[in-house]
Structure 1
């Protein structure tokens, strides 16, 4: 992932809330994955008493797999989103450079 050099702040000066907001802006789907993880684990714990004939170990394994799938899926979507965003940005820069070469000036939008 790309880093924004203009908004660099020392870790000792940055608050926890500021760091969380910066990370959420860089990777918007990671908090979604974490929230899904917490919801699935909470639901699994809620359903623990009413699991019926299922052994506890099997119930916990199913809960863990569902939570992991949520986090891995959100991370994969976030990585795909970042790759597409970087690709579009690179293509736009290439178009600007090509237009600048051909016309000798920057395009106005």
Structure 2
């Protein structure tokens, strides 16, 4: 029995870096959301020292809501952009 396999199996041969690059090109708003989330959390942790009279739990809740809001907003904008490209900006045949 002769089994001819493709010399290049894309899902198995690509390393993590090229896979991340390919996924970022397919959905560019995912890395933007991830970077924004990390930036907001880092800023919130930095500002933790100078929170004043605010309780730590309230500060962490505000930080969580801001980071989550950024990610949801980015996802919403990305879906809207994707829908625009697919339905309205597609050239008519």
TM above 0.5, one fold?
Answer: yes
Which residue of the partner structure matches residue 9 of structure 1? Answer: 10
Q: Distance in 1 between matches of 2:29 and 2:44?
A: 22
CA RMSD of aligned residues (A): 1.3
- Tell me the matched-pair count: 84
Q: Give ranges in structure 2 of 5+ residues lacking alignment.
A: 1-8
Counterparts of residues 1-109 of structure 1 (less than 5 Å) = 9-10=10-11, 12-87=12-87, 88-89=89-90, 92=91, 95-96=92-93
Pairwise CA distance, 1:71: 0.6
TM-score, with normalisation over the residues of structure 1?
0.72
Deviation string, structure 1 residues 57-88 (Cα, Å, up to 9, x no partner): 00000000000011111111111111111112
Q: Give ranges in structure 1 of 5+ residues lacking alignment.
A: 1-7, 97-109
Q: Following superposition, which runs of at least 4 residues in structure 1 exceed 3 angstroms of deviation?
A: none
Larger radius of gyration: 1
Deviation string, structure 1 residues 18-62 (Cα, Å, up to 9, x no partner): 111111111111111111101100000001111110000000000
Instruction: Tell me: higher relative CO, structure 1 or 2? Use CA pairs within 8 A at least 6 residues apart.
Output: 2
